[in-house]
Amino acid sequence: MAAKTKKTKSKYSKKSEAQARIAKERIDTLFAEAKNAFREDPSLSHRYVQLARKIAMKYKLKIPSKYRRQYCKHCYRYLMPGENSRVRTREGKLVVYCLECKKYSRYVIKRKLGHRCFSPSHTVSRSSAD
């Protein structure tokens, strides 16, 4: 039962807000699907990421930061830690190494105010010179 109410082109109105909301939901589901599909077919996950990016571009939306670190910003493949990516924290940054294109991506981790945790035991002295 798809009652298509395709009205004639109206100017940008509240309708586009609704579309943006739907687009956001689709991005949510696409990333959830990408996660589910990875075990079965990683290439499907990569396609979902690309779809989500296309939707975001179409509706001029930003992909939420929680999702942005789930794909490689160089080759845009879905990244599964331990499978096709290595994730580690370094100097308050999240460093994601993509095993698909062999590149690093760095993300700033939001610090919770009043809850600093120093971990001197975790001094990673690996020089990651590209």
Q: Which of residues 33 and 100 has its CB atom nearest to Zn ion in the complex?
A: 100
Q: Can you tell me which of 15, 62, 74, 111 binds Zn ion, judged by CB under 5 A? A: 74
The CB-of-63 to Zn ion minimum distance in angstroms stands at: 16
Segment lying near Zn ion (by CB under 5 A), choices 12-20, 66-74, 85-93, 117-125: 66-74
Contacts of 103 by beta carbon, 8 Å cutoff, 6+ apart: 72, 74, 75, 97
Binding segment for Zn ion among 21-29, 41-49, 56-64, 90-98 (CB under 5 A)?
90-98
Report if residue 68 touches Zn ion, rule: CB under 5 A: no
Considering just the CA atoms, what is the radius of gyration of the chain in Å?
19
Query: Shortest gap between Cβ of 113 and Zn ion (angstroms)?
Result: 33
Given the DSSP bridges, would you call strands 85-90 and 93-98 parallel, antiparallel or unpaired?
Answer: antiparallel
Residue 109 contacts Zn ion per CB under 5 A: no
Binding Zn ion (rule: CB under 5 A), the pick from 18, 32, 57, 101 is: 101
Give the Cα separation of 17 and 11 in Å (integer): 12
The answer to whether the CB of 106 falls within 8 A of the CB of 93 is: yes
Position 98 contacts Zn ion (CB under 5 A): yes
Distances (CA, A) of 52 to 8, 26, 106: 27, 7, 21
Residues that bind Zn ion (CB under 5 A): 72, 74-75, 98, 100-101
